[in-house]
Chains A and B, each alone.
Chain A
Amino acid sequence: MNPILQTDAATLSPIALFLQADWVVKGVMLGLLLASIWTWAIIIAFWVKLGRTRKASETFEQEFWRADDIDAFVKTRGTADLPTARVLAAGVTEWRRSTQGNRIDREGTRERLGTTMGSAVAKEIDQLSDRLNVLATVGSVAPFVGLFGTVWGIMRSFTSIASQQNTSLAVVAPGIAEALFATAIGLFAAIPAVIAYNRFSHAINRIEARLMRFADGFHATLSRQLDGER
Chain B
Amino acid sequence: MERAEKIGLAGAVAGHVVLFGLLSVGFLDTPEAMKPKQAPVEVSLVKDVALEAAAPAATEPPSQAVAPETGEPQDAPPPVPEPQPRPEPAPQPAPAPKPEPAPPKPAPAKPAPPKPAPPRPAPAPKPVPQPKPRPKPAPPAAEKAPAKPAPARPAAAAAASATRAPPAASKGAGKTPAATAARPRGGRLGSDFLKGLTAEPSKARDSDAPPSAARVDGKALAAIQQAIARQIQPCADRQVDPGPGANQIVTTLNLRLNRDGTLSATPTVVRQSGVDDDNRRYARRVVDLGIAAFKGCSPLKLPAEYYATANGGWSNINYNWKLR
Contacts and interface: CB of A to CB of B under 8 A. Distances in A.
Interface of A: 3-4, 11-15, 33, 36-49, 52, 131
Contact of B7 (A13, A33, A44): A44
Nearest to B23: A14
A3 B22 CA distance: 10
B16 A13 contact: no
B26 A40 contact: no
Interface of B is mostly: helix
Nearest to A43: B8
A30 B7 CA distance: 22
A37 B8 CA distance: 9
Given A3-B24, A13-B24, A41 B8 contact: yes
B12 A40 contact: yes
Interface of B: 2, 4-5, 7-9, 11-13, 15-16, 20-21, 23-26, 28-30
Contacts of A52: 4
Given A36-B16, A48-B4, A12 B11 contact: no
B23 A41 contact: no
Contact of A44 (B8, B23, B29): B8
B5 A12 contact: no
B84 to A, nearest CB: 107
B27 to A, nearest CB: 8
Nearest to B30: A12
B302 to A, nearest CB: 44
B29 A11 contact: yes
B16 A12 contact: no
B13 to A, nearest CB: 6
Nearest to B28: A12
Interface of A is mostly: helix
Contact of B13 (A15, A37, A49): A37
A49 to B, nearest CB: 4
The CB with the most chain B CB atoms within 10 A, among A3, A15, A40, A47, is that of A40
Nearest to B5: A45
Given A44-B7, A48-B7, A37 B12 contact: yes
Contacts of B26: 3, 11-13
A37 B16 CA distance: 7
A48 B28 contact: no
A46 B7 CA distance: 10
Contact of B12 (A4, A12, A13, A44): A44
Contacts of A3: 24-26
A41 B11 CA distance: 7
A42 B8 contact: yes
Contacts of A11: 26, 29
Contacts of B23: 12-14
Contact of A45 (B2, B15, B30): B2
Nearest to A33: B16
A38 B11 CA distance: 10
B114 to A, nearest CB: 86
28 contacts: A4-B24, A4-B25, A11-B26, A12-B26, A12-B28, A12-B29, A13-B23, A13-B24, A14-B20, A14-B23, A14-B24, A15-B20, A33-B16, A37-B9, A37-B16, A39-B12, A40-B12, A40-B16, A41-B9, A41-B11, A41-B12, A44-B8, A44-B9, A45-B8, A46-B8, A48-B4, A48-B8, A49-B4
